[in-house]
Amino acid sequence: MMGNSHTSANGLPNMVAALVRAAWPGRTVEAVEAPTWMFLQQRASDPASLALLRSTPWRFVVLQAQEYSSSGLFDYPIDGAVALVRESRAVGALPILFPEWPRAEIPETQRIYDLHLSIARVAPACVPPIPQAWDLARVRLPDIELHAPDGNHARAPGSLLAAMVITATMTGVSPGLFPAIEGVGVDAGVQARLRSVAAETVTVYAPRTGCPGDAVGP
């Protein structure tokens, strides 16, 4: 997984690994996080990141931290993200673009999601509907705090919800079939409620819209 603090916070890569193990029993699963937090535009020319990407025939590469304008008034380049998607394909991996959840009280879900779909139109990649899952959770589960106090980063339930949607994108398994996982700072009851939201979201918003030609399965 290549990203910044949104990827690292609450151990999201390990959440994804645990959920993939549950979705695909008997598979050996390891999540590896690339060194240093940076935007994808920077990472595309970072020697350490490229060396890691080229070091192994990864099954999936998750790319987070496409820079975007918080005001919506400016455009940032996407060529770094496009290059990383293509590098991922070159090693046989399925690239997954990770659109971040919207900031608290800011209606930016569609803008964030569309930005990532625009990358996938240039270089095919899956785009999990993480922002939409957060929007639905905030309506259906208002008692569960997803945002950290800064209104930008996630608390553990928010990271877990994102991990559920990412895992569904990888495996094709509905989040409604995931078991509760331990050691993530979210109790089993809350996990069940988050699974319901994640399952509904991936039914409404196809996670593989940007990568329809890629096979689903172990």
Query: For 203-217, how does the pLDDT look when each residue is reduced to its tens digit (9 = 90+)?
Result: 999 999 999 999 888
Contact assessment for residue 21 and residue 29, using Cβ atoms and an 8 Å cutoff: yes
* Mean pLDDT within 117-144: 98
Q: What is the pLDDT of residue 32?
A: 98
Kindly tell me if the per-residue pLDDT of 80 is higher than 80.
Answer: yes
Domains and CATH numbers, the chain: 5-204 (3.40.50.1110)
CA–CA separation, 20 and 170 (whole Å): 8
Task: Kindly tell me if the per-residue pLDDT of 71 is higher than 90.
Answer: no
Q: 164 burial class (0-12, 13-18, 19+ CB within 10 angstroms)?
A: buried
pLDDT for res 75: 87
Q: Is 201 exposed, middle or buried (0-12, 13-18, 19+ CB in 10 A)?
A: buried
Q: pTM higher than 0.95, yes or no?
A: yes
